[in-house]
């Protein structure tokens, strides 16, 4: 369906796909972050980064069309996840003297995102051929 729309518009819809996906992703990030955020720990950013990595992994390993990747991968996941907030949160925790928490948070974002992409890969490939 998305590919048909692109063909009818002569391919000029690509920026709009990214923009529309970005609008949805940014809105979802706000909702999820607000819902799970804790004052003492930036759980909202951690949550969206792991969920977004999982979704991007699903899209990547499922082999979706280019236009679907533009809408959901580049647009939605790109605006849903947030490297800049993660970086600021880590430095603020460090500056507040929570060095152990800052280190754990940084590792949690990295390892959580990689694990989420790995889980998506396993899901899409049928648990490594076991399904």
* pTM recorded for the entire structure: 0.84
Name the DSSP class of 125: T
Which residues are CB-contacts of 24 (< 8 A; sequence separation ≥ 6)?
Answer: 75, 76, 79
% of the chain residues with pLDDT over 70 = 90
- pLDDT at residue 131 greater than cutoff 50: no
Interatomic CA distance for residues 17 and 74, integer angstroms = 9
* pLDDT tens, residue by residue, 89-108: 999 999 999 999 999 999 99
Give the number of other Cβ atoms within 10 Å of residue 27's Cβ: 13
Contact by Cβ (8 Å): 46, 105: yes
Structure tokens at 43: 């759980």
Q: Which domain holds residue 12?
A: 2-129
- Render pLDDT for 43-84 as a digit per residue (tens, 0 to 9): 999 999 999 999 999 999 999 999 999 999 999 999 999 999
Counted domains in the chain: 1
Read off the pLDDT of residues 22-41 as tens digits, 9 standing for 90 and up: 999 999 999 999 999 888 89
Is the model's pLDDT at 111 over the cut of 80?
Answer: yes
118 is in an annotated binding site: no
Is 125 annotated as a binding-site member? no
Enumerate the β-bridge partners of residue 38: 41
Which of 77, 78, 79, 103 lies closest to 89 in space, CA to CA?
A: 103
């Amino acid at each position: 369906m998305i590919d048909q729309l692109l063909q009818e518009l002569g391919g000029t819809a690509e920026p709009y796909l990214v923009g529309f996906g970005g609008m949805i992703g940014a809105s979802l990030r706000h909702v999820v972050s607000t819902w799970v955020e804790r004052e003492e720990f930036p759980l909202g950013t951690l949550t969206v980064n792991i969920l977004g990595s999982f979704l991007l992994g699903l899209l990547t390993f499922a082999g979706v069309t280019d236009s679907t990747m533009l809408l959901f991968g580049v647009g939605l996941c790109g605006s849903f996840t947030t490297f800049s907030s993660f970086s600021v949160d880590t430095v603020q925790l460090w500056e507040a003297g929570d060095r152990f928490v800052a280190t754990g948070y940084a590792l949690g974002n990295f390892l959580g995102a990689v694990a989420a992409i790995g889980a998506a890969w396993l899901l899409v490939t049928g648990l490594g051929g076991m399904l």
